[in-house]
Structure 1
Amino acid sequence: MLKTGLGKVLLVLGIVLLWGQSLLLQAEEPELALPQSIEISTGEWPPFLGEDLPEQGVIARLIRDIFAQENISVQFTFLPWNRAMHDTLNGKYAATAIWMFQDDRAKNFLYSQAVLDEKFVFFHLKSSPFYWQELTDLQGMLVGGVSGYSYGPEFDTAVKNFIIGLDSVGSGEQNFRRLALGRVDVVAEEISVGYHMLRQRLPDIADLITHHPQPLLINQSFLLFPKAQPQSAALNELFNRTLADFRVTGRYDSYFESLTTADIGTFYLSN
């Protein structure tokens, strides 16, 4: 009995000693130091992102200010979208901005909290009153879209079932030109992107076009951090925490006040 009891005591003492050594080693491991500056890849998507826009667009300014709160400076590199994704995945950039959620991307990237809620609407000619509540209300109409874009699963199903006619081209500008010429009945486009396009690139037809206020699709976009990079988790956590603070204080909303007063159909950019 004595030997058995002593053996148990020695076993417990051994376990405690090993546990203490483990804690000591963990305490001695230095925390991963975050960089003072990072580079983020992105593509052209005015008015949200653009190399020649004031402060490179409202989303670039928002992301830059969030990291600045944590004493990290940000430089944006503008690339074709596919290359931005590829190069970030391969470690050339700390993150890439901004992308909608896809399962295949989640295998390789950490997603931030939502940075932007995109609002897609139908644009139409002021001279052609347009009303819709259900997608079936568009039956017999031709919608202008951009090749490769999805406007949500419900819309895609309606197109597949021939409830909606969709004619896609290479750019939103082409769609608005076709709308002005009567070649499509409505154009599906993100509201701020659409009004930026009209006012900045298509001023000759901008006053002819308005939008229906009911959203076709609300789509969230995110900042992506490559999982393979050791600092990604810490940068993502820091970014999410500060983004949440911006939302709580109302500072987040202030970034978008200069973009659009789309509820009354006008649009402007601040300089």
Structure 2
Amino acid sequence: MKKIFALLLISILVFTGCSIKDNGFTRDLLIKNQTVKAKEVASTSSDTSSSDTSSDTVKREKLVFAIGEWAPYVSETIDNQGFTTEIVKKAFDEVNIDTEFKFYTWAKTLKEVNSHNSFATFPWSFNKDRAKDFLFTDPITVSETKLMYLDGGNAPKDYTDIKSLKKYKIGGVKDYSYVSLFDKENIEIDISLKEDEAIKKLYNKRIDLLPASPLVAHDFITKTYPNEIEKFKFLKTPIESLDMGLLVDKNYPNAKEYIQKFNEGLAKLKATGDYDKILQKHGYGFLVADKSSVDVSSTYASIDPITITTGEYAPFVSESLLNQGFTSEIIKRAFELTNVKVDFKFYAWAKAKAEIENKNAFGSYPWSITDERKAKYAFTDPIVSSTSSFFYLKSNKNIPSGLDFTTFKDLKKYKIGGVKNFFYVDPLEKAGIKADLADKESDSMNKLINGRIDLYPGDVLTSLDLMKSDFKDQIDNIDWFKTPFSTTNYAIMISKDYPNNEEYIKRFNEGLAMMKKSGEFQQILDKHGYGFLGK
């Protein structure tokens, strides 16, 4: 009886549908209703009491990746297409995103990403040229480059700097990151188009040394020279150590959101130990990071995540730098060690400051610690220190050779520039100097170059970075006073009214102390090229 009723109901619906105007929407709605009714009928006609399990599930997003051959990191011919591929897949699985991997030549992978046919390519290292067009995720792994040589060949026991290698015949692969290191020292290298070609040159003694990833080289040597593996040796000192991650076009839709999801998934893999298991399964357990300070976060109770604001202040912090600059990496790691999740947001500096005043964010960095600010804000322990000085044009006839100063009052006769809201503005005013202030450092530096000011006050590191990026043609014409007008301690600045701020500050300070004790703090500075700041 139930089945007869079901057939009558469906027939009525079909005939009713014929009299309705066929406008697409009503037709689709009718079909959907028929399907629902049919499911209901099937359910009532069933002899079981189980509920209907045929309802649609939420469809997961899928991202496409363009990758190439670089065994053992990634390859079509190895287990799970390489350990980095498996890590990427599992990290996105953690955040409910499906993945598809397509293999191309490496040049083609970049075109696929640029055209948005693919979301990302990997594993790629960070550099400033790539940062102009691409965003980077947290590192998947680290690739160390060492100098490979043949046992008994013409090679040093080790080396102290690249200059000392001038007397050797050195090979290399086109467009690899280390090529620029040799170019800077005017060392000519024998370029090959592919890594296997370069290794064959070394084997045939056409070159003495070859910069290579030990993992990649070993994979090729094992396949090509299985009985002569022991002939290939590496010098102890690495040429470079590079973080390898996903490379994403800046204009890919929702790029930053996907990157954040990947970083979250990767962090979960590491927290659960699955990351280490993948490396060990592929035979690369030795790549697992030193755990001397990693597991201490379990001793800290969970606490609400926090937002920290910042702005463009290269090389300390910038969206276009590796891991958003060395101070960002230090802060993230210090909080990670004490079980605090951090989200960084970039704004104009005035907005970054306003966000903490309105308690929309826990803190902002890097801000210099001054007595005036300490009266209003709380600060963490200093992250790093740097010096500030006055920059001038060597060609400026108003500036006598060897000019220096003792107090700001000594500089009253000169036109001095600067940036609004920077810490030196008040001391200059107290000395009776009204500075010509700009909205940002590049504008003030531009005034210096165009002769509108005589002196530009700036952090030495930041100013040098600015000159290299925006004023290359003027570098030789710019100098600065040997006497700094300030040694600045940079820290996180926090509203004194932020909830539980003392606990967050305590955790950061403890995490920072752990990093310094373990050597991880110095490693981060070294990696970014500012190791001298920690010594």
The TM-score normalised by the length of structure 2 is 0.39
The residue number in structure 2 matching 1:146 is 173
| Counterpart among 257, 263, 267 of residue 234 in structure 1 | 257
Kept after mapping to 2: 8 A contact 1:124/1:185: yes
SS in 2 for 1:207: helix
How far residue 120 of structure 1 moved from its aligned partner, in angstroms, is 0.4
Determine the structure 2 residue equivalent to 1:83. Answer: 108
2:83 alignment counterpart: 58
The residue that corresponds to 1:197 in the other structure is 220
How far apart, CA to CA, are the structure 1 residues paired with 2:236 and 2:114? 38
Can you list the C-alpha shifts for 1:132-174, whole angstroms capped at 9, x where unaligned?
231244231111211232316543322x1x4xx5212222222
- Aligned amino acid, residue 49 of structure 1: V
Name the CA distance, whole Å, in 2 between partners of 1:139 and 1:38.
46
Q: Deviation per CA, 1:32-91, whole angstroms, max 9, x where unpaired? A: x99432211111111111112211111101100111112222110011222221122222
Offset of 1:250 from its aligned partner?
4.6
Q: How far apart are the structure 2 equivalents of 1:207 and 1:136?
A: 28
Q: Do structure 1's residue 213 and structure 2's residue 239 form an aligned pair?
A: no
Cα deviations by residue, 1:198-246 (Å, 9 ceiling, x for unpaired): 0123325423212123211112222123333333222111111222333
Structure 2 residue identity aligned to 1:43: G
Q: How much has 1:247 moved relative to structure 2?
A: 3.6
Describe the SS at the equivalent of 1:199: helix
Q: Which runs of 4+ in 1 moved over 6 A?
A: none
Q: Give structure 1 stretches of 5+ with no counterpart.
A: 1-32, 264-271
Q: Which residue of 1 aligns with 2:343?
A: none
TM-score in terms of structure 1 length: 0.73
What is the deviation of 1:104? 4.4
Highest CA radius of gyration, 1 or 2? 2
**C-alpha contact (below 8 Å) 2:91/2:268 kept by paired residues:** no
Q: Quick one: which amino acid aligns to residue 150 of structure 1? A: S
Distance change (3 Å), C-alpha of 1:198 and 1:142: same
Residue 22 of structure 1: aligned partner? none
Distance 2:125 2:100 in 1: 22
Distance 1:221-1:262 versus aligned 2 partners, 3 A rule: closer
* Number of the residue aligned with 1:6: none
- Distance (whole Å) between structure 1 residues aligned to residue 263 and residue 201 of structure 2: 41
Unpaired segments ≥5 residues, structure 2: 1-57, 288-535
Q: For residue 149 of structure 2, what is the amino acid of its counterpart?
A: H
CA shift digits 1:105-142 (9 cap, x unpaired): 43443211122211001111223474123124423111
Q: Is the 8 A contact 1:124 1:130 kept in 2?
A: no
Contact 2:136 2:247 in 1 (8 A): yes
2:61 to 24, 27, 36: 36
Aligned with 1:132 (options 143, 158, 161)? 158
Structure 1 CA distance, aligned partners of 2:173 and 2:126?
A: 19
**Distance change in 2, residues 1:152/1:46 (3 Å):** same
Whether contact under 8 Å (1:38, 1:93) holds in the other structure is yes
Partner of 1:123: 148
CA RMSD of aligned residues (A): 2.7
- Cα distance between partner residues in 2 of 1:208 and 1:67: 41
Q: What residue identity is the alignment partner of 2:191?
A: S
Does the 8 Å CA contact 1:34/1:235 hold for their aligned counterparts?
Answer: no
Whose RCO is larger (CA < 8 A, sep 6+)? 1
Moved more, 66-75 or 219-228: 219-228
How far did residue 262 of structure 1 move? 8.4
**Does the 8 Å CA contact 2:72/2:83 hold for their aligned counterparts?**
yes
Residue range with higher mean Cα deviation, 254-263 or 226-235:
254-263
Is 2:95 the partner of 1:70?
yes
Which one is further off, 192-201 or 35-44?
A: 35-44
Q: Once structures 1 and 2 are overlaid, which stretch shifts more, 172-181 or 188-197?
A: 172-181
Greater shift, 131-140 or 102-111, is seen at 102-111
User: Are residue 177 (structure 1) and residue 217 (structure 2) matched?
Assistant: no
Distance 1:133 1:249, change over 3 A: farther
Closer, same or farther: CA 189–241 of 1 in aligned 2, 3 Å: same
Number of corresponding residues:
227
Equivalent residue in structure 2 for 1:113, among 138, 146, 164 = 138
Aligned AA (1:132): D
